[in-house]
Amino acid sequence: AQKVTQAQTEISVVEKEDVTLDCVYETRDTTYYLFWYKQPPSGELVFLIRRNSFDEQNEISGRYSWNFQKSTSSFNFTITASQVVDSAVYFCALSESQGGSEKLVFGKGMKLTVNP
């Protein structure tokens, strides 16, 4: 069963529009971490944010904000006033620590294109 679901595969917006990237996860762990990574066209993977399961406080960093809701198992990412430089593939990921193993499970990614 897929454990991290990014239902949107591709979104295209016009510059200055707000855009929300959805992430829904599934885990039996009581303690876990959620991450967002960005992969620009150049290909590298860039860490954006980490959130642990005990901290449901929303976070804002400039034009980026994250909404974590345990009740709906969601960790959504919003870009306000999008810019062309935001064009990238965005991945949501979940860390698991079950039975002595430690894994990081990624969603399939969502390609965001911001047009000028």
Report the residue number, 62 or 100, with the smaller CB distance to another protein.
100
Report the residue number, 12 or 97, with the smaller CB distance to another protein.
97
How many other β-carbons are positioned within 10 Å of the β-carbon of residue 112? 21
Binding site for another protein (CB under 8 A): 6, 9, 31-33, 35, 43-45, 47, 50, 52, 91, 93, 95, 97, 100-109
Report the residue number, 16 or 50, with the smaller CB distance to another protein.
50
Ramachandran quadrant class, 30 (left: phi over 0; alpha: psi -120 to 50; beta: rest): alpha
DSSP per-residue codes, 55-83: ----EEETTEEEEEEGGGTEEEEEESS--
Closest approach of Cβ 31 to another protein, in Å?
A: 7
Closest approach of Cβ 71 to another protein, in Å?
A: 22
DSSP state for residue 40 in the 8-state scheme: -
